[in-house]
Amino acid sequence: MNGWQIDRQRGSARGFHTLDPNPIDRRTAWIFDVDSPALALGSSQSESDVDRSVAEALGIDVFRRHSGGGAVMMSPGSCVWIDIVLPVSDALWAPDVSLAPLWLGEVWASALAGVGAVDPTVHRGAMVRPPLAGVVCFAGLAPGEVSCAGKTVGVSQRRTRSVARFQTIALLEWDRQLHETLLAPGISRLPGAAGETSGEEPLGDPWSVDPMTGVGADELIESFVRELDRLS
């Protein structure tokens, strides 16, 4: 591929989150295939949000990431996880963190349309954070994230002086019951009902997500890589 370094790896979600992007000096896409279930807590999320007995019974590795607000559940075959790393010298780099991921959202929207998604839309407004988003990441909506009938792609950022790392997850499956059970302690502390909206929630229901059911991971990855290639 012209212009992009593509690196696909299989392993633990915990290990992927600890990868250091700082030596990278060209635009790079990391494609991660998780080999076991994991729950990545948001950077400032309380560990007490998780029912550890449920996590242990289901073999879910619980750890903290250095980005985002609420937790993200990852398991083999349930999502496509692609991180984009840009050096500060890259033309796609933007200093404004609200504008920086919009181009990437457009790539994801085109990739989703390429595998049959109807009207994927990139969120360009301010961050939307109903109370549930502090516990479950996909309940909120940030700039650059993509929705169809509900949220389909999540985006978070990590920055250093030399690189920006955009962490993206596209859902292929979504298990609301698992989230409600695994994160029951955190959800129980929310003001009002977990499904309550603030009146500013564009998805209507903060549990509203729209996984690409029936689409294979490889098919979606190929579509995404084709759209990246258009930027080269």
Report pLDDT for 231.
87
The structure's pTM equals 0.92
C-alpha 55/C-alpha 183 separation (Å) is 9
- Domain ranges for the chain, please list them: 5-229
Read off the amino acid at residue 94: A
Report pLDDT for 203.
40
Task: Give the pLDDT means over successive 10-residue stretches in the chain (232 positions).
Answer: 85 94 92 98 94 98 89 97 96 95 98 97 95 94 96 95 95 96 96 51 68 97 96 78
User: Residue 178's closest CA among 42, 14, 50, 35?
Assistant: 50
CATH of domain 5-229: 3.30.930.10
Give how far the C-alpha of residue 48 lies from the chain's centroid of Cα atoms, to the nearest Å.
22
Report pLDDT for 23.
84
C-alpha 13/C-alpha 154 separation (Å) is 16
C-alpha 204/C-alpha 188 separation (Å) is 21
Report pLDDT for 68.
74
Q: Is 138:168 a contact under the CB 8 Å cutoff?
A: no
